Amino acid sequence: MTRPAELFAAAAIALFAIGLALPRFSTVRSFSISVNVHRIAYAVPLQTVLFGCAALFGVFAFIYSLWMVRITPSAGIWHFWLSTVSILLFGVGFVVIATLPKPAPASVGGARTAAMWGSVLALPVFLLAQVVFLTSLILGIIRGNHTG
């Protein structure tokens, strides 16, 4: 399973399964991401984020499986691993921040800081992965399917 389409499809299934299993665990049932915009708070459950990532990975698997567009396999592997690492960084950081006690004792201050940096660095890593994907996709479209 080294083709990007297969890797993205397997990761999409895994993310979907984790999203389905997440409500069964009592410790992570109430995790949500909240965003405040103009004094209005919007909360998105972690399960919804996992379903969104699974859908996005499914779209990537579909695009990589198209025979009409020749995307470099090494760029696809880079895209997969950068996307996966960024999702893991965000997810682990999010869970660590949410489970640590709110008035954090000095012993967990480093863990909270590391988790926060992991969550913050996840977005630029994910965006870098999408730049790799778009560059490879555009070059594949320009080159076309010249196999013979």
Instruction: Tell me the percentage of the chain whose pLDDT exceeds 90.
Output: 31
Cα–Cα distances in Å, from 64 out to 20, 51, 57, 78, 113?
26, 20, 10, 13, 37
- Give the pLDDT score at 15: 92
Looking at residue 105, what is its pLDDT? 63
| Residue 34 Cα distances to 7, 17, 40, 44, 63, angstroms | 30, 23, 10, 6, 31
User: Which residues of the chain are under the pLDDT cut of 70?
Assistant: 1-2, 26-30, 100-109, 145-148
Share of the chain above pLDDT 70, in %: 86
- What was the pLDDT predicted at 148? 39
